[in-house]
Chains A and B, each alone.
Chain A
Amino acid sequence: DVKVTQSSRYLVKRTGEKVFLECVQDMDHENMFWYRQDPGLGLRLIYFSYDVKMKEKGDIPEGYSVSREKKERFSLILESASTNQTSMYLCASSFVSSGNTIYFGEGSWLTVV
C-alpha cells in the first residue's frame, strides 16, 4: 500500500517558535505538496515540489518555507510561528504522470499559542 506519513499528528507550539512538519512517502513519487485546511476555506496549497531541491509557491506561501533534500521527504517550515497559523496541515504526493492518483497523509493538527 502507498503510504504518506506525517511525523506529528498533534502539535502545540508557542508564538515565535520555529516549527518543522515532516512528510515522508514510500512510493518514489516525484510530486509532493503541502496544504493547509481551515473550516469554511477548504484546502489551500502552500507549496509543492516536483523534484528534489525544486519547489514552487502555492496560493498561500507567506510565513512558510519548504525543504526537499531527498525524494521521499518534504518538510514544511514555519520560521516564526504565529497564532494565525493554527490549522490542519495535509501532505500529499503523486507521480508526475498520474492523472488521478494523489495520496494524502493523515494530517497534522498544529496549535500555536
Chain B
Amino acid sequence: AQKITQTQPGMFVQEKEAVTLDCTYDTSDQSYGLFWYKQPSSGEMIFLIYQGSYDEQNATEGRYSLNFQKARKSANLVISASQLGDSAMYFCAMRYLYSGAGSYQLTFGKGTKLSVIP
C-alpha cells in the first residue's frame, strides 16, 4: 500500500523568500507518479506539479520545482520567491501508473499549511 508523509503541519515564510515543503512516500512499486496540489481557503484543489518515477529531470513549473530523490523516496516542493497568494494548504499525493482499477486513485498526505508573511 502507498503512504505519503508530510511532517510539517504548518510553516511560515517571509514574502519573496524560498520555501521547501517536505514529502516522503512509501511504496514497493517502481512505476508511480507524484503530485503537489494547492488548496486555498476557498476549497478548490489546484494542481501545481507532477513528477513521474522514471523522469530523470526534476519537474519545474514556473516558481514551483519538485526536488525528487528517488533513493530517499522524497518529493519535496520548492516554491521560489514566495508571494502572499501562496498562503494555502499544500498536499503531496501519489498514484500508481500501471493499468488496472486499483491504480487510478491518488493517495494524499495530511498537508502542510503555508503562511506567507509580508
Contacts and interface: CB of A to CB of B under 8 A. Distances in A.
Nearest to B100: A50
Interface stretch (A16-24, A40-48, A70-78): A40-48
A50 B101 CA distance: 7
A108 to B, nearest CB: 9
A104 B105 contact: no
Contacts of A31: 104
Interface SS of A by simple majority: strand
Interface string A69-113: 000000000000000000010101010100111111111010000
Interface size class of B (residues with CB under 8 A): 20 to 34
Given A40-B110, A42-B111, A48-B104, A99 B44 contact: no
Interface residues of A, number: 29
B91 interface: yes
Interface string B68-101: 0000000000000000000000010101010101
A63 interface: no
B42 interface: yes
Given A42-B109, A104-B45, A106-B44, A96 B33 contact: no
Nearest to B93: A43
Nearest to A101: B47
